[in-house]
Amino acid sequence: MNSTTTYITTSIPYVNAAPHVGFALELVQADAYARHSRLLGNDVRFQCGTDDNSLKNVRAAEAAGRPVADFVGENADRFEELGKRLHISNDAFVRTSADSRHAACVHSLWNACAKNGDLYRKSYEGFYCVGCEQFYDLTDLDDGRCPEHGIPLEVVKEENWFFRLSRYGNRILHLIETEELQVVPVHRRNEILALLRRGLEDISVSRSAERARGWGVPVPGSDEVIYVWFDALANYLTGLGYGSDEALFSQYWARQGERTHFVGKGISKFHAIYWPAIRLSAGLPLPSSIYVHGYLTANGRKIGKSAGNGIDPDGLVECYQTPDALRYYLLRHIRSADDGDFSEERLEAAWSGELGGQLGNLLNRVLTLLSSSFSGVTPAVPNSVLVREAARLPEKILDAFDNYELHLGLTEIFSYLGSANREFTRKAPWSDAKALLDELDETERKIISDRLGATLAEQVYGLAIVARCLLPFLPESASRLHAKLGIWSPARYDAPLVVSGVETSSGGILFPRQTVVRTTP
């Protein structure tokens, strides 16, 4: 087993409706990191799932006139299928209403916090947003409405179980200030620090069974239901066998290693404050890093299930007959940590103009000349300027992942491809290939052949580097690119790269033009 273990999770979305393209952003970001970490040689476990026990789901099922279990199960199926269609490489998928281990995990966590004296009873009245599944202070509201969803809040008055969140504010503040717990990017870290410096209040962690319609994980020894965030956050432990598989739990969480969550900015507080506090209370190790991405928008408005402007990611994958068109757009044209606007027109331009025009076209031209002039076999690779530029590319990809700037990693790849295309045009190898068809003396033929071979070999070498660097971003296309270059897709970045003497394949188009059918009006 490798010495470095890495545990990566996505957040778990509510299943009150079918998934939209906004959640696909988080999936592909987390998947890119999981694949990158495996290529570094780390022992990786990657988990996704769904938040089934939300009151929001219950309300949606009621509105649809459906039994909650059936409604939740069908939508959860859609989220799990989306991961498969996007080629998300997760090892586990935890549905909080269906995984037989989950209730036991939540109860174990609850009992650990109770044993530490952090759970107590209290009567409470407050303003609650079902969409956010949280209470708000009046000072946090936007003209009396939820600042996230813009809807009026419900007044809830209950006697609940409360968690002593206030007990852990200073400890979490210190952990984040010292970067023992990293919150990335820095502006999201600063937002969390500001909340912590204002001081924390204890939070309600149960609701009446009546308000929950009896749906959710029951409070141990009570007819109440555990608050959905306490329940949902515990899923990160459920998939590791907390309370049921001590060896697995020890391997990926209890032992030293990387424990990374990918979340949207709207739920960063729950992951960077609530979750570490619950873990401290339960005596469990903390996450290592929390990567916070922005929202995907359409025409400047946040894409959301309740907003009615969702874009169907399944339709986009079907349209391009590969997930890599959508993966590429989300990873390159949406800045990793910021909001970004989605456009099907820009998606189409990225597929045809960048993937097809810069990468696919260069590959086709190089392999066609190799086939006609060298029977498809790559000659010796020269020590040229272009080769040295390609050799620097992997380090730039490492930096992009280290800095949570995946968009810059792909920008570096396509910056290199721009150089490669310009160099290919400048050297005009097709002229040398044509000249070899003429009657030449032996010396002249060798000069032209060597020059042509060097030009094509440096391009093949660069394309092989590109293929390796694209593996975490575009796994299907990177695999096909390796195959066309006649080399195996490596299991690790540091695997030897040999292209000289290898037979390439010039057949087929890597990024064929598609008949695009719009999925939005």
Between CA 143 and CA 149 the distance in angstroms is: 12
Q: Are 322 and 477 in contact (CB under 8 A)?
A: yes
State the greatest distance between any 2 C-alpha atoms of the chain, in Å, as a whole number.
98
Between CA 55 and CA 69 the distance in angstroms is: 13
| Residue 294: per-residue pLDDT | 95
Instruction: Name the nearest CA neighbour of 54 among 90, 24, 96.
Output: 96
pLDDT band at 2 (very low <50, low <70, confident <90, very high): very low
Q: Does this chain's domain 5-311 share its CATH topology with 344-484? A: no
As a whole number, mean pLDDT of residues 14-33 equals 94
Give me the DSSP letters along 425-478: HHH-HHHHHHHTTS---HHHHHHHHHHHHHHHHHHHHHHHHHHHHHTTT-HHHH
Per-residue pLDDT reduced to its tens digit, 251-267: 888 888 999 999 999 99
Helix (H, G, I), strand (E, B) or coil at 59: helix
437-to-50, 267, 380, 402, 503 alpha-carbon distances in Å: 63, 65, 22, 50, 22
Place of tokens 């060597």: 450
Domain boundaries, the chain: 5-311, 344-484
CATH class of 344-484: mainly alpha
pLDDT band at 514 (very low <50, low <70, confident <90, very high): confident
Between CA 82 and CA 80 the distance in angstroms is: 5
Q: Which residues pair with 125 in a beta bridge?
A: 157
Q: Are 288 and 262 in contact (CB under 8 A)?
A: no
Between CA 153 and CA 125 the distance in angstroms is: 12
| Residue 354: per-residue pLDDT | 96
Q: Are 45 and 91 in contact (CB under 8 A)?
A: yes
Q: Which residues pair with 71 in a beta bridge?
A: none
- Judge whether residue 301 has pLDDT over 80: no
CATH code given to domain 5-311: 3.40.50.620
Q: Which residues pair with 129 in a beta bridge?
A: 134
Amino acid at 499: V
